[in-house]
């Protein structure tokens, strides 16, 4: 009996030690809890990364772009006249930014090479003669309300003008076009203007024009009281203005922009400012808007040796 009792007792201890439902469930529960914690941590990290990308994606891109593609071309003497070197103690500009415009969808921009049969009609509509065009590259902006058709022509050695690209759909100011544009008007000026240079938050697309890659601190002054009204300035310029376009923030409107000489030299403070050929998909604040894809290609075509002009009517 004693042997049987011992055997029974051992069997019970074995069962209690190794087959206890309590012990088994406790071990499985520990593994399950650890897996749940790891899944929770991984989910949190993924969600946090997505939030950072959606919230700060543009700033991260701009930082990387500035870090690995630094240095805009130096401003011309006319743009930096009277500028002093910036110091670390210099106070940041107290400025009011002008609202940014929106980005356009790409438009057809393939060269067609057809004869410029429309140029006589365009010249007549703009009240011009062919001899009024001093250069050999000409852009025509034919407006209707706030919309426009944009034409690109080049003059050959035999004197014939040939259209170079598809006719593009574009936009002008919300106030249409006018011969008399004031500082606060959202109107595109009429007339024929020389193309000066190009700039943009993107890298130089290969244009022969002088190209300024927009960096942080580069502004276009829109305050008529400033000595730099309607001029491009950088962080080293004295801040005597209370309003400007902070160009670095205009990634949708100014990936590329072409500056033409409307109210440039001399500057009239009773007239408008910051009129560019730039990127837009809707009526503008006074510039001429086309798609980013088209403007990048047009920049590759423009040549300062051809004395290019833009005629708006």
The HSE-up count of residue 159 (CA atoms within 13 Å, CB side) is: 2
Q: How far is CA 34 from CA 11, 25, 40, 271, 281, in A?
A: 34, 14, 10, 70, 53
Residue 86 · residue 236 · CB < 8 Å: yes
> What local confidence, expressed as pLDDT, does residue 117 receive?
61
> What local confidence, expressed as pLDDT, does residue 261 receive?
97
- Specify if 260 maps to a domain: yes
Beta strands in 118-237 (DSSP E): 137-144, 147-155, 161-163, 168-171, 177-178, 188-189, 191-200, 211-213, 219-221, 232-233
End-to-end CA distance of the chain: 119
- Specify if 86 maps to a domain: no
Give the model's confidence band at 40: pLDDT under 50 very low, under 70 low, under 90 confident, else very high. Answer: confident
Q: Say if residue 186's pLDDT is above 50.
A: yes
> What local confidence, expressed as pLDDT, does residue 56 receive?
64
Same domain for 268 and 136: yes
- Specify if 100 maps to a domain: yes
> What local confidence, expressed as pLDDT, does residue 57 receive?
60
Q: How many CB atoms lie within 10 A of CB 184?
A: 10
110 or 128: whose pLDDT is higher?
128
- Specify if 75 maps to a domain: no
> What local confidence, expressed as pLDDT, does residue 178 receive?
97
Same domain for 45 and 143: no
Same domain for 11 and 120: no
Number of DSSP helices (H) and strands (E) in the chain, helices first: 4, 16
Q: Say if residue 83's pLDDT is above 80.
A: no
Quick check: pTM over 0.85? no
Closest CA to 279 of 263, 296, 264: 296
Q: What is the percent of the chain with per-residue pLDDT over 90, rounded to a whole number?
A: 61
pLDDT by residue (tens digit) across 94-124? 444 444 444 444 344 334 444 456 899 999 9
Q: Say if residue 215's pLDDT is above 90.
A: yes
Report angle CA 203, 298, 231 to the nearest 5 degrees.
60
Q: Say if residue 19's pLDDT is above 90.
A: no
Closest CA to 185 of 170, 174, 196: 174
**Looking at the DSSP assignment, which residues form a beta bridge with residue 195?**
260
pLDDT by residue (tens digit) across 150-184? 999 999 999 999 999 999 999 999 999 999 999 98
Q: Say if residue 13's pLDDT is above 50.
A: no
Same domain for 180 and 58: no
- Specify if 76 maps to a domain: no
Average pLDDT over residues 135-144: 98
> What local confidence, expressed as pLDDT, does residue 3 receive?
40
- Specify if 264 maps to a domain: yes
Q: Say if residue 227's pLDDT is above 80.
A: yes
> What local confidence, expressed as pLDDT, does residue 142 receive?
98
- Specify if 80 maps to a domain: no
Same domain for 126 and 24: no
Using DSSP bridges, classify how beta strands 219-221 and 243-246 pair: parallel, antiparallel or unpaired. antiparallel
Q: Say if residue 292's pLDDT is above 90.
A: yes
Give the model's confidence band at 2: pLDDT under 50 very low, under 70 low, under 90 confident, else very high. Answer: very low
pLDDT by residue (tens digit) across 233-273? 998 999 999 999 999 999 999 999 999 999 999 999 999 99
- Specify if 91 maps to a domain: no
Who contacts 294 (Cβ-Cβ below 8 Å, separation ≥6)? 106, 107, 109, 165, 168
**Looking at the DSSP assignment, which residues form a beta bridge with residue 152?**
139
> What local confidence, expressed as pLDDT, does residue 87 receive?
29
Q: Say if residue 208's pLDDT is above 70.
A: yes
Q: Which residue has the tokens 């047009």?
A: 298
> What local confidence, expressed as pLDDT, does residue 217 receive?
95
Same domain for 225 and 129: yes
Same domain for 159 and 251: yes
**What's the CA gap between 238 and 42, in Å, rounded?**
50
Give the model's confidence band at 39: pLDDT under 50 very low, under 70 low, under 90 confident, else very high. Answer: confident
**Looking at the DSSP assignment, which residues form a beta bridge with residue 199?**
212, 257
Range of the domain at 172: 96-312
Average pLDDT over residues 124-140: 96
Same domain for 58 and 137: no
Same domain for 35 and 136: no
Same domain for 43 and 169: no
Give the model's confidence band at 48: pLDDT under 50 very low, under 70 low, under 90 confident, else very high. Answer: confident
> What local confidence, expressed as pLDDT, does residue 155 receive?
97
Same domain for 243 and 159: yes
């Amino acid at each position: 009996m004693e042997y049987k009792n011992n055997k029974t007792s051992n069997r019970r201890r074995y069962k209690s030690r190794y087959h206890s439902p309590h012990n088994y469930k406790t071990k499985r529960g520990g593994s399950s809890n650890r897996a749940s914690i790891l899944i929770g941590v991984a989910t949190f990290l993924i969600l946090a990364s997505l939030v950072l990308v959606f919230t700060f994606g543009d700033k991260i891109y701009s930082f990387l772009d500035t870090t690995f593609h630094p240095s805009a071309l130096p401003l011309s003497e006319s743009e930096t006249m009277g500028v002093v070197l910036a110091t670390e103690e210099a106070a940041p500009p107290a400025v009011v930014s002008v609202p940014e415009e929106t980005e356009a969808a790409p438009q057809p921009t393939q060269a067609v090479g057809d004869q410029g049969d429309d140029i006589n009609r365009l010249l007549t509509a703009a009240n011009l003669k062919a001899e009024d065009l001093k250069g050999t590259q000409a852009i025509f902006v034919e407006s209707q309300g706030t919309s426009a058709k944009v034409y690109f022509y080049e003059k050959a050695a035999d004197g014939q003008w040939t259209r170079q690209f598809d006719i593009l759909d574009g936009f002008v100011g919300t106030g249409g076009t006018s011969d008399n544009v004031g500082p606060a008007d959202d109107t595109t000026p009429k007339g024929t203007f020389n193309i000066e240079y190009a700039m943009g938050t993107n890298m130089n697309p290969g244009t022969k024009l002088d190209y300024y890659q927009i960096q942080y601190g580069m502004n276009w002054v829109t305050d008529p009281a400033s000595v730099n009204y309607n001029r491009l300035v950088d962080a080293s310029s004295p801040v005597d203005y209370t309003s400007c376009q902070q160009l670095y923030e205009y990634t949708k409107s100014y990936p590329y922009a072409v500056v033409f000489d409307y109210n440039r030299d001399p500057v009239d403070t009773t007239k408008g400012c910051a009129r560019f050929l730039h990127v837009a998909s809707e009526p503008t604040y006074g510039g001429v808007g086309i798609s980013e894809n088209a403007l990048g290609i047009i920049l590759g075509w423009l040549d300062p040796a051809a004395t290019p002009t833009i005629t708006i009517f």
